[in-house]
Amino acid sequence: MPQATRNDADGAGHEPVVRLAIIGEYNPAFPPHKAVDATVVQVAAARGIDVRAEWISTAVIAAESPARLAGYHAIGISPGSPYKSLDGALAAIRYAREQDVPLLGTCGGFQHVVLEFARNVMGLEGAEHEETAPDASVLVVTALSCSPAGQTMPVTIDGASRVAGWYGTTRIAERYYCNYGLNPEHEVEIEDAGLRIVGWDDGGEARIVDIPSHPFYIGALFVPHPPDDPSTPHPLVAALIEAGRLAPR
């Protein structure tokens, strides 16, 4: 992707570089991936931060282990599932969760944040995604009751959440590309285990999840897009990059 950099950001006394790993199978012609690139570039320019983003295939993570991610200050789990390696995607997510690395999973990334949490925090070893294992007995990610794919739709945010603070409002509109989300049958047990639902569509289905005790650990079922005004970049991506800027080095 295009690198959003400032020439002076690496020198002594300047803002630190933010190294961002974006996990997924990069396709520059795929609209959600174009949106990811454009949003990161816009945030970096608006905030004057040197962001060095690298797309990394899930297959690479599976082959090299999540230790491949050491040295990155923030991690994005991209749209575009099914991924080449389910194990690679889940390993990257688990690494970010356990190592306190800021993480934002969008679209398919949201779905796999839920799946990783169900398997490795809740102990649901048989937890599966309906798209890839439709006959599984424990489906924590299932087809949405009404597909939002291709639409821009409203989301209501919990006013007490940090997500509402980043947006500065409890009512937003975001664009979707997916047909799967958190199975409502597992909402209560997932929240009881610590993955909070902090955003809903108008039908009450989960759209944003968060682990509040983590420095930054967000799943959003939509795909952030760069706003028309470049001086006001997307608040969720801006918050991720800011968390990466403040991450330990």
218, with CB counted inside 10 A (0-12, 13-18, 19+), is buried
The pLDDT assigned to 16 comes to: 85
List Cα–Cα distances, 175 to 7, 187, 230, in angstroms: 33, 23, 18
Q: Are 217 and 22 in contact (CB under 8 A)?
A: no
Q: Are 16 and 72 in contact (CB under 8 A)?
A: no
Side-chain-side CA neighbours of 94 within 13 Å: the count stands at: 20
Instruction: Read off the pLDDT of residues 114-126 as tens digits, 9 standing for 90 and up.
Output: 999 999 999 998 9
Question: What are 148's two structure tokens?
Answer: 């939002």
Confidence check: pLDDT of 133 > 90: yes
β-strand partners of 206:
200
Q: Are 107 and 32 in contact (CB under 8 A)?
A: yes
Domain ranges of the chain: 18-246
The pLDDT assigned to 249 comes to: 87
Q: Is 197 left (phi over 0), alpha (psi -120 to 50) or beta?
A: beta
Q: Is 185 helix (H, G, I), strand (E, B) or coil?
A: helix
Question: What are 93's two structure tokens?
Answer: 């997510």
Confidence check: pLDDT of 4 > 70: no
* Euclidean distance between CA atoms 158 and 71, whole angstroms: 33
Report which of residues 14 and 65 the model is more confident about: 65
The pLDDT assigned to 137 comes to: 94
Name residue 232's amino acid.
T
Give alpha helix (H) positions in the chain.
Answer: 31-47, 58-64, 86-99, 108-120, 162-167, 187-193, 235-246
List Cα–Cα distances, 126 to 58, 105, 137, 180, 184, in angstroms: 21, 22, 7, 18, 17
β-strand partners of 180:
143
Give the dihedral sign, CA 29/35/38/41: negative
Scanning the structure block, which residue is given the tokens 């682990």?
A: 211
* Euclidean distance between CA atoms 216 and 121, whole angstroms: 17
* Euclidean distance between CA atoms 54 and 131, whole angstroms: 27
What is the dotted CATH code of the domain comprising 18-246? 3.40.50.880
Global pTM exceeds 0.85: yes
Query: Region 226-243: what's the mean pLDDT?
Result: 97
